[in-house]
Structure 1
Amino acid sequence: MNRQVIRAARLRAPMPRHLAVLAQLAVVVGFPATAALAQQAAAPADAQSLPAVTVSASAVDDSGLQLEKKASTGALGSRTQLDTPYSTTIVTGEDLAERQVAKLGDVFAMDASVSDNGNGYNSWSSYLSVRGLQIDWQNGFKINGLPFVAYGITLPYEHMEQVELLKGLPGFMYGFATPGGIVNYVTKKPTDTFSASFELGYRAANVWSEHVDLGGRAGPNNMFGYRLNVTHEEGTPYNARNIKRDSASLGLDARLTRDLTWTFDSIYQDRRATGQMPSFSLWSYGDTALPAAVSGRIRNFAGADQHLNTNLQLYSTGLRYQINPDWAVSTNYSFTKVNRSRNESTYNLLNQAGDYSDQRYDTAQNQQVGQWQAMLEGKFRTGPFGHQLVAGLSWQKQIDRYDNNGFGAVIGAGNIFEPNTNTYFSSTAFNKVRNSDITQKSVFASDTVQLSERWSVLAGLRVTNFEQNGYVPVSSSYSKNGVVTPTLALMFKPVPTATVYASYVEALEPGSIVPDGYTNARQLLSPIRSKQYEVGVKADQAAWSATAAAFRIERGAEYDSINGGVPTRQQDGTSIYQGLELAGVYRLGPQWEFGASAMYLDSYYDKGLANNGKRVAGAPDLVLAGRISYRVPFVPGLRLGVDGKYTGNTKLNAGNTLEAGGYTVFNLGASYNTRVAGKDLTLRAALNNVTNKRYWGFQYENYIQPADPRSVSLTAKIAY
C-alpha cells in the first residue's frame, strides 16, 4: 500500500465527537481533562497520517532508509536525504514505536556507523558514537533544529515524529560542535484532521507507562493547529531501583494569513531515577584483561541512596513568511533549561578479579541556552544556471552552572560479583555558581548551483565570532572573531532517484570542560579544528534503496593520561578516522523486507608526542547490522521481525593497553493491527537481547558498561 493510499484512508472523526473522545481518554488515563489535553500536541503530521490500522502496510515505508524524507540541515535549510551531499539517517516515530525504543543507543541501532555508549537511567544517557567519534552532549543535540544540553537527558521518544542524524562535521550547518555529528529530535506537529490516541505500555522489570496524543485544527478556516502529547511512566527498570517520569509537549501553529505562519513548540519533562547503574572506570586498573562480564541488571550495584534527577524545559517560537512561491523568510527564538542533580557511584576497577574502590559523586548542575536565528531561502536563475540560496544570521549563548560544594570521595570498596553495601545519602543543599559560558554570533550562506539537469555544486560558508569563558576553579577565556567553517560539494544525478556526491567540510569545536575526578577538573581546553572528506552515493528505487560513503576525518586528538590512578585530560596531535559505510533495504513482494548496514573503520593517532599509530579509543574496527521483517499473509495486520548487530573489538584507552571484545546482540519484535468497536488497535511486543548476551561495552575513554540484559516491552494503542 503506498503512502498516498494510506493517507487517503485516514480516520476522520467529526468535530462534535471531540469532547466525548477527550472525556473517554481522561477516564482511561486517570488524568484530569486538563492533563489529558496537555498531552497530545507533539505528534507529527506524517505520523498521524499513518494511523495504527495501517502500520503493517506502512512498516515498509517507516523502517527503510527514508531517502525521500526531508531532514533539517541547519544552514543548508531543509532538503531530502537524497539531495543532501553528506551521510544522514532518519528514524521515524513509527519505527521507534515498533522497536519499543527507550534509550538513545537504540534509536540508531540499525545504523552500523552508530555505537551505543549510554545507559538510559544514569548520567551517561546521551553518550553515542558516530564513525568512532562521540557526539558532543553540549552542542551535538537539537530539538527541532534548536540547541539544548543533553547531558543526562533521555527524551520522550513517544513525542517524536522522527529523529535525524547528520554524520560527520556539522560546523557549517550548525556552528561549533564536535565532528561526530548532530542528532535532531523532531517533535510531532499539528495534524490536518482531528486525531486522538491512548497507549498503555509495560517494560521489564516492572515499568508502566501511559501516553495520550491529541492533534487537529480549529477556528475559522482551520486557522489554528495543535498537537499535545502527555506521558507518565513509573516503576522498576532492570538497571535502576525506580523511575518516575512526567513529560508533556505542545506544538501550536497559526496560519495568520495565506503566507504568514506562526509556530510554537515546547517540551517539559521531569525525570527521577533512583538506584541506577554506576559507571565502571579503568583509571586504576592493574591487569591486562577485563574481568568476566557481569549482568546489566542492578542487583549487585546500587541502592536507594543513589539518584539522577533531571528537569528539561524547552520553549521556542517562530514566524515564517512566504514572500512568493520561490522565496521565504523566517525567524525563530528558543530557550532551553536543564537542571540536574546526581548522586552516583563510579566503580574504579582494580583487577581482573573484579575488585573496586567506590567513588561517589554527589553534585548538581544547570545549563541554559538561548538562541535566535533569521534565515532567507530562495530560488533564482542567472543565465542557464539555477540557484538555491540559503542565508542567515544566528546568535547563541550557553551558560553552565555547577555546584561548588558537592561531594566527591571514596566511600568504600567492593567486588562486582558481590552486592555493594556502601551507602552515601545526599545531605547538602547545593550552591550553584557560574562555571562557564559560550557565546556564538555567526553569519552563513550557501548556494546550490544547478549546472545542468544532472550536475550541481554546493558552496557554503559560516563566519563565527566565538567567545568561551571559564570561572571555576580558575578564570580562563578564549575568543576568536571571524572563524571560517566552509563546505563544498559536487553532486551528480545519473537518474532522478539517485545522487553521487563528493563533499568537504570543516568545523571548529569548543574546548571541552574537563569532568570532575580529573587532575584538571572543570578546566576549559582549547577549541579543536577538524576536516572531513567524503564521497558517496544514494539511490531510492521502488523495491530497494541503498547508500554508500567513503570518508576521512582529521581531528585534533584529545585523550586521558593516567598517573597513579588519577587521570589528566590533554590535547596532543591528531586523530584520524577513515572508512566505508554501506546500507540498504530490499523489499521482496508484499511480505518480506530485508535491511542491512556495515561500517569498516580505520582509526589511529598521528603527529603527537604519544600514541602515534595506535587505534583511537572507542572506535570499533567493524560493525554489522541487519533486519528482517515479515508480514504474515494469513493473519492480516500481523508483522514479525528480527534484527541483530555485531560490534567489533574496541580499544578502551589511547595507549591501547585494554580492549573490549566484539559481541553480537539479537532482538525480536511483533506488531498486530486490527479494529475493535470501530477503533484502530495496535498491539506491539519486543524482546531485546534474546540470548541474554553478556559483554563489556565501551562507554567513554577508560570507562566500560555491562550489556543491557534480556528484557521485554509490550504496548497497546487505541486510536480514535
Structure 2
Amino acid sequence: MSEHGCPHSANPDSLQATLRAVSFTLNRTFSAVQMALLLGLTGGSMAVAAAPAPEPSTQSPTGTGEGSLVLSETTVEGTMGAPADLPPAYAGGQVATGSRVGLLGTKDFMETPFSAISYTDDFVRNHQAKDIGSVIGATDPSVNVPSKRAIIETFFIRGFNTSANDITYNGLIGMAPNLRGSTELAERIEVLKGPSALLNGMPPDGSVAGSINMVPKRASDEPLTRLTTSFESNGLYGAHADVGRRFGEQNQFGIRYNGVYRDGDTAVDDQKQNMQLNALGLDWRTERVRLSLDAYKQRERLDGSNYFGIASINPNVNKVPSPKKGDYALAPDWAYTINDTETFLLRGEADLNDSLTAFAAYGQRDGGRNALMTRDTLVNNAGDINVLAYRSDGQGTQKSGEAGLKGNFNTGPVGHQWSLAATQYKSEMSYKDLQKANYVTTNYDNLDFGPTPPLDTFGAVTSRTEAKLGSVAFLDTLSFLDDRIQWTVGLRRQTVESSSLTPARVKTSHYNESRVSPATALLVKVTDDVSVYANYIEGLSKGDTAPMTAANSGQILSPYQTKQYEVGAKLDLGSFATTLAVFQIEKPSAFTDPITNTFGLNGEQRNRGVEWSFFGEAQPDLRLMGGVSYTQAVLSKALVKANEGNQVTGVPKIIAKLGVEYDLERVPGLTLTAGTNHVGSRYVTDDHRMELPSYTVFDVGGRYTTKVMSKPVTLRANVENIANRAYWIGSYSGGDGSGLSGGLGTPRTLQLSASVDF
C-alpha cells in the first residue's frame, strides 16, 4: 500500500511546510519512544511495572471516582487532556457530567433534551479498550457491537446500524480514522443516540442510529509523561506514550503527544494485528481566543480477517451452524486488511463580546484501505460455504469544514441561546477492485480456503466517486423561569451531491438534492435533581437510484428523512444518576413495487423502545454502570408482505448490561471489576426461518495502584468472556441478508497493562 506525505490542501505554502514538519517530527519522535518501550517490554520496563503505584490525582485518598484508588486519577485525567469547555467527570469518573451536543454546544447531561453520554479517558484506560466499540458497547444497553476486528467497526444504536465511517473527530465529519479508530486519540468519546440531522448534519454514509464523536486530547496545566505497556492473548504486545506540557506565562500554549505501537497474534487463530499511531495536539488560549491544531497518522494491518463472518445465506438454508469458540478463524490466513489515515484539523473560536462568539474549523484526511478478503455464502444445511475472493483498494481525500456564530440575548423574561452554522464536506475516492467468484467451496466445520488467490493482475483503477455535503443550520434555545423550562427549535438545510465516474473521470451518474430537517425539543427541570424532556428530530440519508428494471429507471430519489419521537426523564442524586427514555424511530427504505414496477420509498423500518441506564457511585467504594433496553424493530412496510411486522434481522429485543467496580478496603490501591452482557435472541433472516438464541458473557478484572520510587504506577488485568462461551454475535448491518455476518463471539481474552507516570 502506498504511503502518503503529510496531508495538505489549498492553504498557504507556509502551512503546508509546517504540517510536513509536524509529520516528520511525529515519525522521528515516535521511532525513538517506540524503541525504548519495546525494549522495556522484554525487560526493564516490565520489571519497573511489576511494582504497582497510583496514577496522579487531585481527589481525596479515599476516592469517589473511577480509579479512586489510583489516588483519584480521574480528576487529573478529566482536566489534563480536556479542552476548557469540556465538563468535568461525574462521580465515579467513568462518564462526564455533560458533552458537546452538536450545534447545541456543550451541555450538562441534566439540561440535554436528548439521550447522550460522554466516556472519559479513565473509563477507556481502565477497560483497556483499544477500539470505539469496546468503549461504547461495554455498559450501554442501547448499543450492540455486532462484530469484533472485522474489516470495519460497526455498531447498532437503538436497533439501527452505523459504522466508523460516520464517526466525527473534534466535531468534524469525515476526520476520524478509516475503518477503526484508536482510543488513544481521544480524551472523551461522546455518544448521542438517535438521528441528529439538525445537530450534526448528515454523516457521509447517512446513518441515523446516532452520532459518535472523538474529542482530541489537550495538555493540561499539570505536566504529564505516561508510558504504558500492554499484552493481549495470544501474543499481542503494545506500548503507548502520552506526553503533555503547557508553556507561557499563563500556560496559554499546550502540546499533547500520543504514540502507540501494537503488534502480534490476537486471540483468534491465525489472526495478527499491527497498529501504529502518532498523534499531536497543539492549542493556544487567551481570555477571548482559543485555537487548536490536531494532526495524526494511523496505520493498521490485520491479517487473517474476512469481510464479515458468513456474509450471506442461500434461501434454502434453514439450519444455523452450531457456534464455535471465538478463537475459531472464519478467514484464511492469506487474507488481510490495511487501513491508513493521515489527518490534520484546525479549529478556532473568538469571543467577539460577552454574548457573541465566532467559530470555524477545517480538516483534511488522506488515506484509505487495501484488502485481500473473502466474502462467504452459506449454501446448504450441511454447512458448505461458497467463497468469493476479492482484492480491493480504496484511496482518497476528504475535506471538512464549518463556520458560524453562537451567542445569547434576552427578550424580556425569555433567554435565548442561539447558533448559526454552515458546513461543507467533500470526498474524492478512487477504487481498484478485482474479484474471483466461486473461488473455492469449503465447509464450516473444516474450513480450507485454499492457496492465495491469483489476483496478480490487480492494479488498475476500476471506478471513482465524488461526494459533497453542504448545509446551513440555525437553532435557538428559549429559556423560561430561570432556565427551568428550555425549548429548542431549529432547522438545517442539507444539500447532498454525489457522482460515480469511470477510471477516466467520465461521470456515469450524478445526484444533487436538498432537504430541510427541522427539530424541536422541550426540557423541564422539575427540581434540581429531576429533568424531563421530549424531542422530535430527523435523520437524513442519501436517496437511491431506480434500477434499470424499474419503470422509472434512472430516477434519483430525494434524501430519506428518518423521524424520531422521544420522551425521557433524568434523575441526578449527586453521586449516582439514572435515565429513562422511550422512543420511536421511523426510517423509510426503497424498493421496486412488484405491482406498479415503480422504484420508490415503499419500505419502512419502525423501531420502538425503552431504555433505562444508570451510572455513578452507589457508595464511595462501589461504582455501577449499566442498564436494560427493549427494542421492537419491525418491518412496518416490506417488499415481502409476509415479513411485515417481523423483528428486523440481527436486532435483539432485550439487552442488559452491568459493569461493577469495587475498591477493596483491606488492600489499599486494589480495585476489583466485573461485567456482564446479556443479548436476547436475534433472527437470522427477515422471514424468521432461523433464530439465534440469547447469550450472556461475563468479564472479570482488577487494577492495583501504588508508587515505585515516588512514581505512580497502575497495573491492570481483565479477562473477557471468562467462561469462553461460544455464540454467534448476529448481523453486522441488520436488514435481510445474513444474521451470521457478525461472525463468532469474542473468545476468552486476557488483557494486561502497566502504566508509569514520570
1:182 aligns with: 211
**Deviation at residue 524 of structure 1 after TM alignment:** 8.6
CA–CA separation in structure 1 for the residues paired with 2:30 and 2:604: 58
One-letter amino acid matched to 1:141: I
For residues 512 and 278 of structure 2, the distance between their equivalents in structure 1, rounded to whole angstroms, comes to: 38
Please say if 1:161 is aligned against 2:187.
yes
Deviation at 1:361, TM superposition (A): 1.7
Q: Which runs of 5+ in 2 are unaligned?
A: 1-28, 41-54, 60-65, 76-88, 547-553, 594-598
Counterpart amino acid of residue 100 in structure 1: Q
Pick closer, same or farther for the CA change 1:675–1:665 going to 2, 3 Å: same
Alignment match, 1:205? 234
Contact 1:557 1:605 in 2 (8 A): no
Give the C-alpha shift of residue 82 in structure 1.
Answer: 2.2
Matched with 2:511 is: 478
SS class of match (2:729): strand
Q: How does 1:510-525 map to 2 (within 5 A)?
A: 510-511=542-543
State how far apart, in whole Å, the 2-side matches of 1:406 and 1:106 are.
33
Does the residue aligned with 2:456 lie in a helix, a strand or coil? coil
Per the alignment, residue 12 of structure 1 pairs with: none
In the TM superposition, residue 525 of structure 1 has moved relative to its aligned partner by 7.6
Task: Name the structure 2 match of 1:145.
Answer: 171
Q: 2:688 is matched with which residue?
A: 656
For 1:526-552, what per-residue CA distance to the aligned partner results, in whole angstroms no more than 9, with x for missing partners? 632110000001222223200110000
Counterpart of 1:106 in 2: which secondary structure?
helix
1:519 equivalent in structure 2: none
Matches within 5 A, 1:61-460: 69-108=97-136, 109-120=138-149, 122-123=150-151, 125-138=152-165, 140-148=166-174, 153-176=179-202, 177-239=206-268, 240-255=270-285, 257-277=286-306, 279-284=309-314, 286-299=316-329, 301-303=331-333, 305-403=334-432, 405-425=433-453, 427-432=456-461, 434-453=463-482, 454-460=484-490
Counterpart mapping for 1:679-694 below 5 A = 679-694=711-726
In the TM superposition, residue 342 of structure 1 has moved relative to its aligned partner by: 0.8
Percent sequence identity over aligned pairs: 25
- More displaced, 708-717 or 338-347? 338-347
User: Structure 1 56/219 Cα, relative in aligned 2: closer, same or farther at 3 Å?
Assistant: closer
TM-score normalised to structure 1 length: 0.86
Once the 2 structures are TM-superposed, how far is the Cα of residue 331 of structure 1 from its aligned partner? Answer: 0.7
Q: What residue identity is the alignment partner of 1:627?
A: G
Question: AA paired with 1:215?
Answer: G
Is the CA contact 1:506–1:532 (under 8 Å) kept in the aligned structure 2? yes
Please state whether the residue corresponding to 1:692 is helix, strand or coil.
coil
CA distance, structure 2, for counterparts of residue 589 and residue 638 of structure 1:
16
Q: 1:628 aligns with which of 660, 664, 668?
A: 660
Conserved? CA contact 1:160–1:188, under 8 Å = yes
Cα pair 1:148 1:337 within 8 Å, conserved: no
Across the aligned residues of Structure 1 and Structure 2, the Cα RMSD in angstroms comes to: 3.1
- More deviation, 454-463/679-688: 454-463
Amino acid at match of 1:616: V
Deviation per CA, 1:451-477, whole angstroms, max 9, x where unpaired? Answer: 213212110111122222223598222
Distance in 1 of aligned mates of 2:661 and 2:210? 29
Equivalent residue for 2:7?
none
Q: CA deviation at 1:512?
A: 6.9
Structure 1 residues 47 and 424, CA, compared in 2 at 3 Å: closer, same or farther?
farther
Whichever structure has more strand as a proportion of its residues is: 1
Matched to 1:103, the amino acid is D
Letter in 1 for 2:200: Y
When residues 27 and 614 of structure 1 are mapped into structure 2, their CA distance, relative to the original with a 3 A threshold, is: closer
Structure 1: how far apart are the matches of 2:258 and 2:502? 39
Partner Cα distance (2:57, 2:441) in 1: 52
Q: What is the deviation of 1:56?
A: 6.2
8 Å contact kept, 2:427–2:467:
yes
Shift of 1:64: 5.6
CA contact (8 A) 1:632 1:640 kept: yes
SS in 1 for 2:614: strand
Amino acid at match of 2:37: V
| In 1: Cα distance, 2:458 partner to 2:56 partner | 44
| CA deviation string 1:554-602 (max 9, x = no partner) | 10136899xxxxxxx9964111000100011363432222333111111
Q: Once the 2 structures are TM-superposed, how far is the Cα of residue 78 of structure 1 from its aligned partner?
A: 2.1
Question: Which whole-Å CA distance do the structure 1 matches of 2:92 and 2:233 have between them?
Answer: 28
- What is the SS of the residue equivalent to 2:617? strand
Q: Shift of residue 306 of structure 1?
A: 1.1
| 8 Å Cα contact 1:52-1:681 kept in structure 2 | no
- Structure 2 CA distance for aligned equivalents of residues 669 and 524 of structure 1: 53
Q: Answer whether contact 1:323 1:329 (CA < 8 A) is retained.
A: yes
Tell me, in whole angstroms, the C-alpha distance in 2 between the residues paired with 1:527 and 1:160. 32
Alignment correspondent of 2:699: 667
Q: Encode CA deviations 1:380-413: one digit per residue, 9 max, x unaligned.
A: 111011111111111111223222x422422211
Q: Are residues 63 and 424 of structure 1, via their aligned partners in 2, closer, same or farther at CA, if it must alter by over 3 Å? A: farther
Deviation of residue 318 (structure 1)?
A: 1.9
Provide the C-alpha distance between the structure 2 equivalents of 1:269 and 1:523, rounded to a whole number of angstroms. Answer: 40
- Displacement after TM superposition at 1:644 (Å): 0.5
Once residues 229 and 445 of structure 1 are traced to their aligned partners in structure 2, the CA distance between those partners, rounded to angstroms, is 36
Query: Which residue of structure 2 lines up, in the alignment, with residue 641 of structure 1?
Result: 673
- 2:531 maps to 499
1:511–1:680 distance in 2 versus 1, CA, 3 Å: farther
1-structure distance, mates of 2:330, 2:155: 26
SS in 2 for 1:222: coil
> What SS does the aligned partner of 1:706 have?
coil
CA offset digits 1:17-73 (Å, max 9, x no partner): xxxx999967742699xxxxxxxxxxxxx9997897853646796786977533222
Cα distance in 1, alignment partners of residues 207 and 534 from structure 2: 21
The aligned counterpart of 2:84 is: none
Helix, strand or coil for the counterpart of 1:691?
coil
CA–CA separation in structure 1 for the residues paired with 2:352 and 2:753: 45
Cα distance, 1:616–1:48 mapped onto 2, change above 3 Å: farther
Paired position in structure 1 for 2:37: 29
C-alpha distance in 1 between matches for 2:757 and 2:451: 46
- Would the alpha carbon gap of residues 351 and 62 (structure 1) be closer, same or farther in structure 2, given more than 3 Å must change? farther
Partner of 1:718: 756
Alignment counterpart, residue 55 of structure 1, candidates 45, 67, 70: 70
**Cα distance change on mapping 1:26 and 1:168 into 2, 3 Å:** closer
Q: Provide the rounded CA distance (Å) in 2 between the counterparts of 1:456 and 1:159.
A: 34
Amino acid at match of 1:417: D
Summarize the Cα distance change of 1:658–1:570 in structure 2 as closer, same or farther, 3 Å threshold: farther
Partner of 1:708: 746
1:173 partner SS: helix
Deviation, structure 1 residue 113: 0.6
Would you say the 8 A contact 2:94–2:123 is kept in 1? no
Q: Distance in 1 between matches of 2:184 and 2:644?
A: 45
- Per the alignment, residue 648 of structure 2 pairs with 616
CA–CA distance in 2 between the matches of 1:676 and 1:201? 19
Structure 2 CA distance for partners of 1:649 and 1:136, relative to 1, 3 Å: same
Q: CA deviation at 1:506?
A: 1.5
Q: Distance in 1 between matches of 2:632 and 2:464?
A: 37
Counterpart CA distance in 1 for 2:177 and 2:255 is 29
Aligned to 2:133, what secondary structure does the other structure show?
helix
Is 1:211–1:230's contact at 8 Å kept on the other side of the alignment?
A: yes
Inter-partner Cα distance in structure 1 for 2:400 and 2:31:
38
What amino acid does structure 2 have at the position aligned with 1:284?
N
Q: CA deviation at 1:340?
A: 0.3
